């Protein structure tokens, strides 16, 4: 078997001990020929917009975007304003990854995710029009705006070509995202992590169904994907290092458990051991004993460098167009170095 190659590569930055390390990792990835840096913004940790503003000043060519921010806590007009600004600061390198967030965190801050599909459709529709510098009036079920536009009196008043990606895990969200690509509203999906490559194949079917409904083809849908990487020369160490994260997700986020193909009873048992969200380190350690190696390696690129490269290649074969590598350990630059060897010019 020939070695895998990657036309495009990105990294996913998230919760390093020092925020300056994330900025330096972005610069390092760019120096190694990587194409993108995606900034995590899921829990209430660091604000992705602030860090991406820093990226605009210390990088020259790499693209960047949140992977992903949510469509609830930033008003759609503010989101357009933010990415218009980042587009200016970066010389057109900003991207926007946007998702429907997750519970229980959303409910804990007063967000009712009653119909995330409809909310996302309306949000992206208005957002795209604003970035195109249209004057927008929209009376939706969830989004209502009246006669608004980006007020670019002194700034460059050209449409903002900010690619928009929906962070999609569920198959119905993938189908809807395909429709939004097909009608020209968004550019693609930011495929989720902690799911097996086989889930990509099912997502591809729904993306194809959605985009073809609007007269497009699957080639119109860009598909970067967040992929967790736990790399060590000792495969057992790498798998153990990933087990805690896997445990938290399958015990606390049912959509991930469902998408990963894990037995629902196992997910429930793990959830009971975790004892709710957020879980303590002791809870995670106890619950992780219920998660076998094969569950970890099914949804994480975990093992030796060779194992990790092959697993990421499997995701690409199943539909990913640009791996977005999330190193679960402190060896971010080692991961960058390993994958840079397999990147095409």
Are 210 and 175 spatial neighbours (Cβ–Cβ below 8 Å)?
A: yes
Query: Which residues form the domain of 293?
Result: 234-303
What HEC string does 114-145 produce? Answer: CCHHHHHHHHHHHHHHHHCCCCEEEECCCCEE
Same domain, residue pair 79 and 135: yes
Q: Which residues are within 8 A (CB) of 114 and not within 5 positions of it... i.e. 6 or more apart?
A: none
Same domain, residue pair 156 and 61: yes
User: What is the DSSP-derived secondary structure letter of residue 222?
Assistant: B
Which residues on neighbouring strands pair with residue 38, listed in sequence order? 12, 65
CATH number at residue 21: 3.20.20.30
Nearest to 150 by CA among 86, 78, 96, 92: 78
> How much of the chain exceeds pLDDT 90, in percent?
82
Q: How many CB atoms lie within 10 A of CB 48?
A: 22
Res 144 pLDDT > 60 = yes
For residue 242, is it within any domain? yes
Same domain, residue pair 139 and 281: no
For residue 310, is it within any domain? no
For residue 62, is it within any domain? yes
Report phi then psi at 186, rounded to 5. -125, 175
Each residue's pLDDT tens digit, 165-194: 999 989 999 999 999 999 999 999 999 999
> With 0-12 CB in 10 A as exposed, 13-18 as middle and 19+ as buried, what is 103?
middle
Same domain, residue pair 329 and 186: yes
Same domain, residue pair 240 and 271: yes
Q: What's the whole-model pTM score?
A: 0.94
For residue 4, is it within any domain? no
Same domain, residue pair 40 and 157: yes
**Mean pLDDT across 118-137:** 98
Same domain, residue pair 219 and 254: no
Q: Which residues are within 8 A (CB) of 161 and not within 5 positions of it... i.e. 6 or more apart?
A: 87, 92, 131
Backbone CA torsion sign across 287, 288, 291, 295: positive
Each residue's pLDDT tens digit, 298-307: 999 999 999 9
For residue 313, is it within any domain? no
Count how many domains the chain has. Answer: 2
Same domain, residue pair 36 and 136: yes
Same domain, residue pair 242 and 211: no
Same domain, residue pair 141 and 72: yes
* Lowest-pLDDT choice from 33-37, 143-147, 202-206, 250-254: 250-254
**Pairwise CA distance, residues 94 & 84, whole Å:** 9
**Pairwise CA distance, residues 174 & 296, whole Å:** 24
Backbone CA torsion sign across 269, 275, 277, 279: negative
Same domain, residue pair 71 and 101: yes
Q: What is the pLDDT of residue 178?
A: 98
End-to-end CA distance of the chain: 21
Res 236 pLDDT > 60 = yes
DSSP secondary structure of 6-21: BS--EEEE---SSHHH
Res 267 pLDDT > 90 = no
For residue 1, is it within any domain? no
Mark out the alpha helices in 192-299 (DSSP H runs).
197-213, 235-252, 254-260, 264-274, 281-288, 293-299
For residue 3, is it within any domain? no
Same domain, residue pair 117 and 207: yes
For residue 77, is it within any domain? yes
């Amino acid at each position: 078997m020939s070695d895998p190659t990657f036309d495009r590569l990105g990294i996913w930055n998230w919760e390093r001990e020092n925020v300056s390390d994330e900025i330096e990792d972005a610069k390092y990835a760019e120096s190694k020929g990587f194409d993108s840096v995606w900034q995590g913004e899921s829990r209430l940790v660091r604000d992705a917009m602030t860090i991406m503003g820093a990226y605009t000043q210390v990088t020259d060519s790499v693209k960047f975007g949140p992977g992903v921010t949510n469509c609830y806590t930033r008003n759609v007009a503010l989101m357009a304003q933010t990415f218009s600004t980042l587009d200016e600061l970066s010389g057109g390198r900003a991207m926007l990854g946007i998702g429907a967030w997750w519970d229980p965190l959303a409910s804990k801050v007063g967000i009712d995710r009653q119909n995330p599909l409809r909310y996302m459709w309306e949000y992206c529709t208005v957002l795209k029009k604003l970035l195109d510098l249209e004057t927008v009036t929209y009376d939706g079920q969830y989004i209502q705006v009246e006669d608004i536009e980006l007020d670019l009196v002194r700034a460059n008043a050209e449409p903002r070509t900010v690619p928009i990606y929906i962070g999609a895990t569920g198959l119905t969200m993938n189908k809807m995202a395909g429709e939004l690509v097909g009608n020209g509203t968004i550019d693609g999906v930011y495929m989720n992590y902690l799911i097996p490559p086989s889930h990509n194949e099912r997502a591809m079917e729904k993306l194809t169904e959605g985009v073809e409904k609007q007269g497009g083809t699957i080639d119109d849908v860009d598909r970067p994907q967040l992929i967790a990487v736990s790399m060590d020369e000792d495969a057992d160490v790498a798998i153990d290092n990933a087990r805690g994260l896997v445990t938290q997700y399958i015990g606390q986020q049912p959509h991930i458990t469902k998408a990963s193909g894990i037995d629902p009873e196992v997910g429930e048992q793990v959830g009971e051991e975790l004892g709710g969200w957020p879980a303590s380190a002791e809870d995670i350690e106890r619950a992780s004993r219920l998660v076998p190696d094969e569950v970890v390696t099914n949804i994480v690129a975990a093992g030796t460098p060779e194992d990790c490269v092959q697993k990421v290649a499997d995701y690409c074969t199943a539909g990913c167009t640009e791996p977005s590598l999330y190193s679960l350990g402190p060896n971010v630059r080692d991961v960058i170095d390993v994958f840079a060897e397999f990147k095409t010019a």
